[in-house]
Chain A
Amino acid sequence: MNTAINFGNVSFKYGSLPVLENADFTINQGDFISILGPNGGGKTTLAKLILGLHDPDSGRIAVNGKTPRQMRDKIGYVPQYSLFDPNLPVSVKDVVLMGRIRNFFVGYSRRDKDYAAKAMESVGIGDLSTTSFSALSGGQRQRVLIARALATEPEILLLDEPTANVDAAIEYKMSAMLKELKKKMTVLLITHDLGFVSELVDKVVCVNRRVHIHPTSGITEEHIRELYNENMKIVRHDIKEEKI
């Protein structure tokens, strides 16, 4: 199996504050990975290292065998929708087309528009194309950002907390959508919610300054406790009426 992402002893600090220490793991192509950890544990930093927005202080990162900067246009990044100015006057189509932007070009080509249309169809927002981004619900905005990432023709999809602030029904739809995407590309999903899409996940990358990688079945209460530094119990959604 080919390697999608390889971290070789990577450390990263913000100023003097260590965020990641000796992260050393490999993600295979086609894997569905959940990146899990407490807030401030370094999940988003890990994502920014993969995208080449930060450079590691030590260690080496390879994405599909190349540097993150060389490969970052093959990564479809889906940031948290809540970070956007809700009053910005752009339509859904405008946002999705941003996945096709270049430094020098005279407007979007037929091909760009086709890719954008296909991406919108694939996440079920084809009928919203001319709607203003600000008029959408949280779940719809999230799907627009996924469509924008898909319009870039990514080999790796990287989603940052896609289910933050969305309700259970949308979470369910989202997991069905991710199931489809899993067939086509490597998916990295940053989340603090282990229950979400647990059936799809091949491996879990636990990030709390140190990074561990586990197959989903190998996750134990001990791992979780170590990750969150507190006494947490696993609530298994797949087993009903369990006595705790």
Chain B
Amino acid sequence: MISDFFAALLNPAIPFIRYAFLAGILSSIPFGIIGTWVTIKRISYLAGAIAHSVLAGIGISLYLSTKYNLEWLHPLLGALGSAVAAALIIGLVSIYAKDREDTIIGAIWATGMSLGLLFIAKTPGYINPMTYLFGNILIIAKTDLFILIILDIVIVILGFLFYYQFQAITFDEEFARIRGIKTNIFYILLLLMTAITVVLMTTIIGIVMVIALLTLPAAIAGFFAKKIWLIMVISVGLTAIFTSSGLMISYITDLPAGSTIILISGLAYLVSVLIKKIIL
């Protein structure tokens, strides 16, 4: 049975399973890095809003590309555009109007989805929104992998370059500001990197569930590691394990891949809570 999965991975006739597998591995690096910051900075609800707003970009780009034959307008580009816009709005609101933050987050969350659904409904031909909400490995193409590689490189470089600044604003934003650190710029940069990361996995995991894959590995790693870089390394490993084992199980059992991956992550989190409580 497991051998069936490995045979499928190598089978040139069904490239999508290989693409999904590679996409999972490629995404695990930025997911581990950004997921760690999102979890320890406790901004997963911000990441949730960014993830849901992605549907607006997907809907708009599907509509425009079908209606006006803009073939270059890939849904991933639309997703990226709306995620970046949402990150900027949320970032500016949380810096300049902190008291409205939760209202704005709720608004972006829901209006983003509504906008996306409207455009998808008006797009000629039939597009099942379920594909984007809950993920569909069938829609992953070779182009997606190239986009993934570029985004990977961007996130990893920025993540390495600004590790200490992110650490400082997470621990004590005010002190960092007194030291002359451009804390607002770094905060918005972190949100933008979160936006890019969330977009990476929306095709496989789907908009609704992607936030779990961002935070659960880091939360698990945080039980056992007490250094930020170590939590990142462990999260990268866990994300790769969850996505590839989820893909394998979903292939063997013929279940939706995204849900399987998230359920495995959730189960692993539950087990590690128990281990932490009982043994440690």
Contact = CB atoms under 8 A, between A and B. Distances in A.
A199 interface: no
Interface stretch (A4-12, A59-67, A101-109): A101-109
Given A95-B171, A103-B180, A103-B182, A89 B231 contact: yes
B174 A98 contact: no
Contacts of A232: none
Given A89-B228, A103-B182, A148 B175 contact: yes
Interface of B: 40, 42, 161, 164-165, 167-168, 170-172, 174-182, 222, 225-228, 231
Nearest to B221: A89
Contact of A90 (B171, B180, B222): B171
Nearest to B165: A101
Contact of A107 (B40, B164, B178, B182): B164
A155 to B, nearest CB: 14
Contacts of A53: 174, 177-178
10 contacts: A51-B178, A72-B180, A73-B180, A79-B175, A85-B40, A87-B40, A94-B228, A98-B179, A102-B179, A152-B179
B189 to A, nearest CB: 12
4 tightest A-B contacts by CB?
A: A132-B226, A89-B226, A98-B168, A101-B168
Contact of B172 (A79, A107, A132): A79
Interface in A73-113: 73, 75, 77, 79, 84-85, 87-91, 94-95, 97-99, 101-103, 105-108
Contacts of A79: 172, 174-175
Contacts of B174: 53, 79
A50 B94 CA distance: 25
A75 B42 CA distance: 29
A contact residues, range: 20 to 34
Nearest to A94: B167
B222 A98 contact: no
Given A87-B40, A101-B168, 12 more contacts: A53-B177, A72-B178, A75-B178, A85-B40, A89-B228, A89-B231, A90-B167, A94-B171, A98-B172, A98-B175, A98-B179, A102-B180
Given A101-B176, A102-B180, A88 B171 contact: yes
Interface string A143-178: 000001000100000000000000000000000000
B120 to A, nearest CB: 40
Given A51-B178, A89-B40, A98 B171 contact: yes
Contacts of A132: 226
A52 B226 CA distance: 34
A77 B225 CA distance: 29
